[in-house]
Structure 1
Amino acid sequence: MPSAAAEPLTPERILETTEEVLRRFGPTKATVVDVARALGVSHGSVYRHFPSKAALREAVTDRWLAKSVVRLEEIASAPAEPAPSKLEAWLEALFEAKRHKAGDDPELFATYTVLLAESSGVVDHHLSELIGQLTRIIAQGVADGTLAAQDVPAAARAVFDATGRFHDPQYAADWLSPTITAEFEAVTSLIVRGLRA
């Protein structure tokens, strides 16, 4: 079995290792030297791919956020799905993705909550991408007459804001409540009924 240093040093490998180092040491103690040590390379080798600790942390945060976007994009792009059903499925998938991230790996979720606060540009891009998907879903519904909205981008933003309790990490503790699923379904149903043409 080849040593870690014998494997090619790629940005993806660095990001995977950084995630492990963050999980082990937390965001305040993890350093680029820790990442390099775990990879079996010099910290200069890591800096050749990521010019600063901030750039590395932003890339890890972006990678983490991007994982949930793939499934959401599949839902937003499904051609045959009616917009109201698509909207419900999209909101449910977003909630489930965030809830799983918080529940499956609470240490890493706590780390990313810290990193999100540092990476405003990455977070802004992620939020724009999510609201863009919602905008497309609502626009489809307006076009086919199943949803009504005079200002589609404003409606998309309102839906995103109205469901914040189910996807904003600051509410992660609420996601453990035994009634959270019923509460989510009630809010989603109200939103979809309100948007129906």
Structure 2
Amino acid sequence: MAPTSETLTAERILEATEEVLRRHGPAKATVVDVARALGVSHGSVYRHFRTKAVLREAVTKRWLDRTSERLAGIVSDGSGPEERLRAWLAALFAAKRHKAGDDPELFATYTVLTDENGTAVGEHIADLTSQLTRIIAAGAGSGIFTAPDPAAAARAVFHATGRFHDPCYAREWTAPGIDEEFTAVVDLLIRGLGAPR
């Protein structure tokens, strides 16, 4: 193997792993393939990620974190809680739809990996519901929402909108009328959270 001129970092390994997964899929991608793509020995990869399972979990977490990071900015963007809630839910749907539509092979690969990596998925869902909790708590604090338990309300909103972000529904995300259905669900949730006038 030719020595690489760049320092081998965890981030470079994760980038190469994503490319290998895109090319070979999760069933055939190996640590040796990742090492070959980087021009290093597989032992060099194992120095950063001690097992193939750890590497796959790290690449899954990285993929999920991209969505969380995009949404985090909406949580504290300064607009009203209702606008933030609408924007956050729309951004989540757009991010998931973008991943499924723009790179279907990689999306299918990550769907398999997320099934393997319950810890990464659980942390991702906890982060998303925490973001929702902050939006709903701000709305309750300002009297716009009625939510005695913002965390429970956040979990309910997350589950109620599952059709628009859970990968098992990805085939429906391009169906005619899906945007109108999404808007109808969000409108209903906003009305349900609304404080009595």
Alignment match, 2:122: 124
Which piece of structure 1 moves more, 98-107 or 4-13? 4-13
Checking the alignment, whether the CA contact within 8 Å between 1:22 and 1:30 is kept in structure 2 is: yes
Checking the alignment, whether the CA contact within 8 Å between 1:62 and 1:122 is kept in structure 2 is: yes
Note the residue ranges of structure 1 that are not aligned, 5 or more in a row: none
Residues 146-180 of structure 1 show CA distances to partners (whole Å, capped at 9, x for unaligned) of: 11112211110000000000000000000010211
Checking the alignment, whether the CA contact within 8 Å between 1:61 and 1:115 is kept in structure 2 is: yes
Question: Could you tell me how far 1:37 is from its partner in structure 2?
Answer: 0.7
Give the residue type in structure 2 aligned to 1:32: V
Structure 1 residue ranges (4+ consecutive) displaced by more than 3 angstroms after TM superposition = none
Q: Quick check: 1:82 aligned with 2:80?
A: yes
* Aligned equivalents of 1:190, 1:163: Cα separation in 2: 11
Question: Could you tell me how far 1:6 is from its partner in structure 2?
Answer: 1.5
Superposition RMSD in Å: 0.9
Alignment match, 1:164: 162
Give the residue type in structure 1 aligned to 2:119: G
Alignment match, 2:6: 7
* Aligned equivalents of 1:83, 1:187: Cα separation in 2: 17
Checking the alignment, whether the CA contact within 8 Å between 1:17 and 1:39 is kept in structure 2 is: yes
Checking the alignment, whether the CA contact within 8 Å between 1:4 and 1:39 is kept in structure 2 is: no
Alignment match, 1:112: 110
Alignment match, 1:60: 59
Note the residue ranges of structure 2 that are not aligned, 5 or more in a row: none
| Residues 4 and 196 (structure 1), Cα distance of their counterparts in 2 relative to 1, 3 Å cut | farther
Alignment match, 1:31: 30
Quote the sequence identity (%).
Answer: 64
Alignment match, 2:44: 45
* Aligned equivalents of 1:138, 1:151: Cα separation in 2: 9
Alignment match, 2:176: 178
Checking the alignment, whether the CA contact within 8 Å between 1:76 and 1:90 is kept in structure 2 is: yes
* Aligned equivalents of 2:70, 2:53: Cα separation in 1: 28
Give the residue type in structure 2 aligned to 1:73: A
| Residues 84 and 46 (structure 1), Cα distance of their counterparts in 2 relative to 1, 3 Å cut | same
Alignment match, 2:72: 73
